[in-house]
Amino acid sequence: MSKKKGYVIPCSGIGKVFGSIGRETAYIVVNELAKDKADLECLPLIVKGKKEVIEALKENKIISIDGCPLKCSYNNIMDKVGRVDAQFMTTDIVKENRDLKPEPYIIPIGENTKELSKKLAEKVAEKINELLENKVEVE
Chain positions contacting ligand SF4, by CB under 6 A: 11-13, 16, 18-19, 66-68, 70-72
End-to-end CA distance of the chain: 11
Question: In the complex, what is the shortest distance from the CB of residue 43 to ligand SF4, in angstroms, rounded to a whole number?
Answer: 8
Question: In the complex, what is the shortest distance from the CB of residue 44 to ligand SF4, in angstroms, rounded to a whole number?
Answer: 11
Which is closer to ligand SF4, CB of 7 or CB of 88? Answer: 88
Which is closer to ligand SF4, CB of 42 or CB of 70? Answer: 70
Question: In the complex, what is the shortest distance from the CB of residue 71 to ligand SF4, in angstroms, rounded to a whole number?
Answer: 5
Question: In the complex, what is the shortest distance from the CB of residue 87 to ligand SF4, in angstroms, rounded to a whole number?
Answer: 11
C-alpha to C-alpha distance for 53 and 10, rounded to whole angstroms: 15
Show contacts of 35-41: CB within 8 Å, 24+ apart: 37/5, 37/6, 37/128, 37/129, 37/132, 38/5, 38/6, 38/7, 38/8, 38/125, 38/128, 39/5, 39/6, 39/7, 39/8, 40/7, 40/8, 40/9, 41/7, 41/8, 41/9
Q: Using CB atoms, what's the residue nearest to ligand SF4?
A: 13
Which is closer to ligand SF4, CB of 13 or CB of 102? Answer: 13
Which is closer to ligand SF4, CB of 77 or CB of 132? Answer: 77
Strands (E), 1-56: 6-10, 38-40
Which is closer to ligand SF4, CB of 19 or CB of 132? Answer: 19
Question: In the complex, what is the shortest distance from the CB of residue 103 to ligand SF4, in angstroms, rounded to a whole number?
Answer: 17
